[in-house]
Amino acid sequence: MSTWVVWNPACRHHYAGAGHPERPQRFEAVLEALRRPELAALVEWVEAPPPPPPPPPLATREAIGRVHPAAYIDLLAAMDARGGGSLDADTFLGPRSWESVLASAGVAVAAVEQALRGGGRARAFAVTRPPGHHALAERAMGFCFLNNVVIAARHAQSLGCARVLIADWDVHHGNGTQALVERDPSIRFVSMHQYPWYPGTGAADERGVGNVFNIPRPGGLSRATYARDFLAGVDAALKDWQPDALLISAGFDSLAGDPLGEFTLEPDDIADWTAALRERIGSRPIVGVLEGGYRLDLLAAGCSALVRALS
């Protein structure tokens, strides 16, 4: 079974400045890796509809508006109209960034639609850029403007998936995702992340309404420890509860050698626990949503391992 890889060329336009780790080359590295001949039989390419000119149309605002209030969307659109600007110390809206932000959210939504259209057994990977799991309802931070994975989760719910599991293996805690779902028992959130590390959230006792399963770990542990603990967190979330869909916040800064993390994982670990997730989820749809990963060769290898395992 092949994996739908959903992308939009507009995701390459976001530019946060010279030397910024979230750079357009990340997008190109992922596409190049997934277009290699050895993956040709495992990938079905889907180009998401292009982002519209501003302001976003009602349909786009509806999908984003399930997560972010209109005033925040208008703030970003107005900043874009002025040519961009800084939203925090490391999150910058460049001259064409808003186009990429909208495209990224659109790719996540299109990946959900593609997976659900696949008869309940489809797997999809959304090549989203910029990433999203740090974005709060009304605040951009940590390279993130809109929370792509929560937008995708809410869209899946609007299409009939009442319960959604979000699993996040980015080396940084998905604080935005947690904040957006922690009062809603219809979504469960599992996050394994380096702790204490940016953004300083994600302690084990942050449980929401019993739907948050944080796995804070220091850097430098063995690969086997991280893999075991991540799947144990997933198993805890799945105890006496079955989701209608699984969304993965797939951050590859958790791989050994990434400049922004200190985990020791290898691409084989990504493949192994993705296969384990497939076993646990069974016939339900799975959608991966790209988050971090800042060393290009590791990012490429991690994405390839994920897509192979999904397929």
C-alpha closest to that of 172 among 294, 234, 261, 87 = 261
Kind and range of the H or E element at 226?
Answer: helix 223-238
Q: Rounded CA gap, 260 and 293, in Å?
A: 8
The label of the residue with tokens 């699993």 reads: 167
Percent helix / strand / coil, the chain, rounded to 5: 40, 20, 40
Read off the tokens for 203: 């302690």
Q: Could you give the residue ranges of the DSSP H alpha helices within 70-198?
A: 70-81, 97-117, 148-158, 175-181
Contacts of 57 (CB under 8 A, 6+ apart): none
The label of the residue with tokens 């951050």 reads: 251
Q: Rounded CA gap, 193 and 254, in Å?
A: 8
- The residues that are catalytic are 134
Beta strand spans in the chain (E): 3-7, 43-47, 85-88, 91-93, 123-126, 164-168, 187-194, 212-217, 245-250, 286-290
Which domains, from first to last, does the chain contain?
3-310 (3.40.800.20)
Contact at 8 Å (CB) between 156 and 178?
no
Contact at 8 Å (CB) between 90 and 143?
yes
Cβ–Cβ contacts within 10 Å for residue 235, how many? Answer: 13
| Tens place of pLDDT per residue across the chain (311 aa) | 799 999 999 999 999 999 999 999 999 999 999 999 999 999 999 999 876 665 555 557 789 999 999 999 999 999 999 999 999 999 999 999 999 999 999 999 999 999 998 765 699 999 999 999 999 999 999 999 999 999 999 999 999 999 999 999 999 999 999 999 999 999 999 999 999 999 999 999 999 999 999 999 999 999 999 999 999 999 999 999 999 999 999 999 999 999 999 999 999 999 999 999 999 999 899 999 999 999 999 999 999 999 999 99
Radius of gyration of the chain (CA): 17
Contact at 8 Å (CB) between 251 and 168?
yes
Q: Rounded CA gap, 309 and 270, in Å?
A: 8
C-alpha closest to that of 129 among 204, 23, 35 = 23
Cβ–Cβ contacts within 10 Å for residue 256, how many? Answer: 17
Dihedral, CA of residue 73, residue 74, residue 79 and residue 83, to nearest 10: 100
Q: Rounded CA gap, 48 and 124, in Å?
A: 12
Length of the chain: 311
Q: How far is CA 204 from the centre of its chain?
A: 21
Nearest 5°: the CA angle 96, 97, 102 is 110
Contact at 8 Å (CB) between 241 and 284?
no
C-alpha closest to that of 302 among 242, 263, 166, 222 = 263
Structure confidence at residue 61 (pLDDT): 79
Read off the tokens for 174: 């998905």
